[in-house]
Structure 1
Amino acid sequence: MSHWKRFTQEPKIAYFSMEIGLSAEIPTYSGGLGILAGDTIKSAADLKLPMVAVTLASRHGYFIQTIDPEGRQREASATWNPGRFMELLPVKTLVTIEDRDIKIQSWLYRVKSPTGGEIPALFLDTDIPGNSEEDRHITDHLYGGDLSIRLKQEIVLGIGGARMLEALGFSIKKFHMNEGHASFLTLELLDRARHPVEDTWDERASWDTRRVMNQCVFTTHTPVPAGHDRFPYDLVKKVLGDRIPLPLLQELAGKESLNMTMLALNLSGYVNGVAKKHGEISQSLFPGFEIHAITNGIHTFTWASPYFVSLFDKYIPGWAHEPELLVRVDNIPDEEIWEAHCGAKAYLFQYIEETTGTKLDSEVLTIGFARRSATYKRGDLIFTDLERLVHIGKGKLQLVFGGKAHPRDEPGKQIIQRIIEKTSQIKGQVKAVYLENYNMEVAYRLVSGVDLWLNNPIRPLEASGTSGMKAALNGVPNFSVLDGWWIEGHIEGMTGWSIGPPATETDLNDNHASEDLEDLYNKLENIIIPLYYEDRAGWIRVMKNAIGKNAYYFNTHVMMRRYATEAYIR
């Protein structure tokens, strides 16, 4: 038996995600969705859950970001070689695209845990001799190309991924779609459920869909319309063909265009949002479906800085495998918490000086903000009133920013440009720096090395927001709009601070920009800055609460136990 075949010996949960972030060296992720997928798989390995992951190889990654002298984002390919990290499996499969058979191969990456657990992750790849030059590049760039390329990528992921698992000999008891990109796997399952041969789709459609629903779990991540892929049916017919009758496809995926989210919703027996509030928002967006909520988490061992790893090992043995033990953080003396934080801060500041030439002051309260640069995340909100920011922060604040805009998101790129313009305008008064090419490696330093984590999206558009969980794990309090996970993790003045009014809306058009801004400035000036400089013991108490009341619960171990009991075992 080939050594990889041991993974096929027991039925598995197949976890499909367009992007997976396992390490900075494997750049097959763009942001939170991919990092969550990587953390999910790591926790599955820790917990020895029977899982296999499926994604695309994305040989040229998402992109490497540089910022030009005018503050404009520039993109370059993040090319990597799967052969350095993975084993090419000897089995291939086919998908039909534009009436051509396209070969797909897969690379096996083993996600290993110190517990002895091991999860196989399959990276699908069309760069194979025998495929046309055009087809060899389908899986090159994550979220790259035009609508036609995106559609082809999603066919490779969903249909190709399901066929690859079958070709390799995997027995799958549940298919878990992490976002709608993999929804075409439901069509492959629907096709398999169509028997005996003489049956027509229409005669057996209801029976077929029930069978597929019993196999599928779907997690939706975004209330933002751009997060739900749609394809015109004329393009679908051209690329996918008409193996599935158009009336049935329209019934399952939408009348006007093929909506990947609707397709997944209609063919999944269990659907969930990624925070309690997001579950409510998703329920209002998609009435008629039962939408649950399982709040996202982070893989604690991945995201704890080396300084806190040592500290937790000393005072809370077993924390990495049982993150709920972090509730015992009060066992750690205050001075050792502060010492670990100062180590993480120095680690970050050294990186900032090496990469930007900017030397930050370790004694000054430092705020971190790093997100995908999208308009609803409002990365430049704190700069709205520069005069007030300087009045509040001169000599008392430092700001560190990071994040990429999608190459075709012009408004997102303009936000980066505005942040860089504003930082130059307050130069000499409030130090601020924008870190290029935000990735897992930069995030690892940033979330633990700042003193306060800022998040100010337009509510209720933040589905979850796991970067704040990474900060909390490292004793960095959150200062955030009440949206996503922070509604559940926030205790005012204890685990951090809120920005703006309570979260009562379900309307996507509600906007509290003026209230949010006023509250942000007021709390900085009157509560946060005085606490940091005048009451170190009080500040450390908030740091400990961030660990003991947030990090102990908002992790992927807790999340995966809930998926196992609520979604997988049905």
Structure 2
Amino acid sequence: MANSIGESHATTIDPFIADTRIAYFSMEIALRPEIHTYSGGLGILAGDTARSSADLELPMVFVTLASREGYLRQEIDGKGRQVDHPDPWNPEKHAVPLPAMAAVQIEGRRVWIRPWLYVLTCPTEHRIPVILLDTDVAGNEARDRSITARLYGGDQVHRLMQEIVLGIGGERVLQALGFRISTFHLNEGHAALLTVSLLRQHRRASGYPGSAKLYDPDPVRDQCVFTTHTPVEAGHDQFEYALSERLLGDFIETETLKLFAGTERLNMTRLALNLSGYVNGVARRHAETTSRMFPGYRIRAVTNGVHVPTWTHLAFAELFQGIAPNWGHEPEILARADQLSDAEIWAAHTRAKGELLQVVNDRTGVSLDRDLPIIGFARRMTGYKRPELLFSDLDRLRTMAEDKPFQIILAGKAHPQDGGGKTAIEQIHRHLAQLAGSVAGVFLPNYDFALARHLICGVDVWLNTPVPPLEASGTSGMKAALNGVLNLSVLDGWWVEAWIEGVTGWAIGADGDQPDRHADALYEQLENKILPLYARNRPQWIWMMKESISKVGSQFTSQRMMRRYASEAYLR
């Protein structure tokens, strides 16, 4: 991979304080494979956001949890079942502790938060600070030292504690370190309590007494940007007010919370919606879906993107360098990729595919054929992603493979509490066993940052099968397209914007089709278009690869995304 971002072992926050004006809060951020402060797409996006912010020299600081025990290391047992393990990492190896600390009150106890400094450095040597919040501090009670230990770990009580540390504690840590932030960007609703902290500060500054009626939300809205990601109801954190009263105490009056977060429960998404002056979804279709879920709010659309140098295989990076030396900083120049020769494109893809097959063999002992097409699917394993859709008719898959052989690689973790997702993983292993001898397939365990960088560039077709309209955006397909891998996806999320049938890839069904039609539509595309094209018309396939890079890879980038945030959200 052509990863252009390194880490810097800076020992002080001082160089960053004077010029930094924007703070980006996210429960998870994927900084590098060895730092397990992410679970999936939300954290990967936040990491790409930080990398492009460094490239563009934006005056930003990023805030997240230290998550010393990581999220989840996935093991697959002999029966194809997911076994959950902690995935620890050591902050001392990659970050430095900062001298200032801040505290929050939780259930009346003072909980201290130590900030760690991690620094991203881009090729032009511009650096972006990342603050990792850690409650594993000697002065805290044992139960509080573990608040930031496991990403998304524990029950509702533990989750709200984490969100108190992130939203309220994170803002206090920035103050303690000397930052003077004018714009706060909330990446999903986990940090929404930051808005409540700002409400209190503005009321104190105005000299008003404690009546809830005298809170003025406008100064907070002027400061806050909110990006919502999930169109799934269960994805919006909600807490009983009895629990928030218990944990927050008198930090804020419940009647005030109900004004902004909903009368029945503390809805973190609604709290952020009501107290942010700029709100956006992460694709045009997702913004439309969010507007239907939360009518009355103006939901803009800033489609997600990926950090091009991080996700471009080295073989393709070398090609891009030849036609556009500044491609990493200005990826829109990759529109010229259609000028590359067929031989160059295929050689680069063959190199990436060979490396993936080596990873597969090393991890599973399975040997796949480099000359046969590979269909790749890697997602969080959960119901609405429909990881089993490809296996709806095993006999039909066998018949397809008799005439035009193909292979399948799958990967993905289920949340520890997602029984349905774990069942899907078990069933996928059963399906692969039933297809053995007809269709070669493998499930790669412990899908993570490092494995993703092999998968997205080494397969031939990237499959995406969510139930519409439940896909927020989806960025793995963008990474695949950047490396000439062709997308086969339901028309949802980002693909609605990037899809040109038979040019950048293929759609599964028509826009607005009922989900129960998607299995047949998927098979029709494989039988009638995709597998015949790969087997019989390699020049046309390579032409589509070049179109995918030039039309998709050049546009769906975090550089473009961050330029839009900077001009439309941060400079309001």
| Equivalent residue for 2:211, pick from 198, 201, 223 | 201
What does residue 144 of structure 1 align with?
153
- 2: CA distance between counterparts of 1:303 and 1:321? 13
Q: Distance in 1 between matches of 2:271 and 2:212?
A: 17
Where do 1:328-343 residues align within 5 Å? 328-343=336-351
C-alpha contact 1:458 1:512 (8 A) present in aligned 2: no
Aligned to 2:568: 566
SS in 1 for 2:182: strand
Aligned to 1:286: 294
Any idea what the Cα deviations from partners look like across 1:143-185, whole Å, max 9, x if unmatched?
0001000000000000000000000000111000000000000
Matched letter for residue 269 of structure 1: G
Give TM-score, length-normalised by structure 2: 0.97
Match of 2:234 in 1: 226
After TM superposition, give the deviation of residue 331 of structure 1 in Å. Answer: 2.2
Asked whether the 8 Å contact 1:92–1:105 carries over to 2, the reply is: yes
1:556 and 1:86 map into 2 onto residues whose CA distance is: 25
Q: Which residue of 1 aligns with 2:89?
A: 80
Q: Over aligned residue pairs, what C-alpha RMSD do you find?
A: 1.1
Question: Given residue 520 of structure 2, which amino acid in structure 1 is its aligned partner?
Answer: E
Q: Secondary structure at the match of 2:526?
A: helix
Give 1:398 shift.
0.2
Distance 1:116 1:251 in 2: 46
SS in 2 for 1:494: coil
Quote the offset at 1:70 in angstroms. 1.1
**Structure 2 residue aligned with 1:129, among 138, 160, 181?**
138
1:390-409 matches, within 5 Å, as 390-394=398-402, 396-409=405-418
Give the letter aligned to residue 293 of structure 1: A
SS state at 1:95 partner: strand
Structure 2 counterpart SS, 1:271: strand
- Residues 3-152 of structure 1 correspond to what in structure 2 (within 5 A)? 3-152=12-161
Whole-angstrom distance in 2 between the partners of 1:198 and 1:419? 60
Instruction: Choose from 364, 374, 378 the match for 1:356.
Output: 364
1:396-448 Cα deviation digits (max 9, x unpaired): 11000000000000001111111110000010110010000000100000000
CA contact (8 A) 2:208 2:214 kept: no
Partner letter of residue 331 of structure 2? P
Partner of 1:524: 526
Residues 194 and 201, structure 1, Cα contact 8 Å, conserved in 2: no
- Match 2:510 to one of 493, 501, 507: 501
Tell me how far apart the structure 1 counterparts of residues 194 and 566 of structure 2 sit (CA, whole Å). 21
Counterpart code for 2:480: A
1:327 aligns with 2:348: no
1:10, 1:2 → 2: CA distance?
A: 18
Higher mean alpha-carbon deviation, 511-520 vs 334-343, is at: 511-520
Q: State the distance in 2 between where 1:356 and 1:203 align.
A: 62
Per-residue displacement from partner, 1:110-153 (whole Å, max 9, x unpaired)? 01100222110000000000100110000000000010000000
SS of residue paired to 1:250:
helix
Q: Deviations over 1:349-386 (max 9, x none)?
A: 00000100000000101000000001000001010100
TM-score, with structure 1 as normaliser: 0.97
Cα offset for 1:242? 2.8
**Runs of at least 5 residues in structure 1 that lack an aligned partner in the other structure:** 504-510
User: Which stretches in structure 2 are left out of the alignment for 5+ residues?
Assistant: 1-9
Displacement over 4 Å in runs of 4+: none
Q: 2:318 aligns with which of 303, 310, 317?
A: 310
2:5 alignment counterpart: none
Aligned to 2:548: 546
Aligned partners of 1:324 and 1:553 also within 8 Å = yes
Q: Is the 2:23–2:62 Cα contact (8 Å) retained in structure 1?
A: yes
User: Is the 2:29–2:37 Cα contact (8 Å) retained in structure 1?
Assistant: yes
CA–CA distance in 1 between the matches of 2:284 and 2:77?
A: 40
Counterpart residue type for residue 350 of structure 2: C
Shift of 1:63: 1.1
Q: How many residues align?
A: 561
Tell me the distance in 2 between the aligned counterparts of 1:2 and 1:377. 42
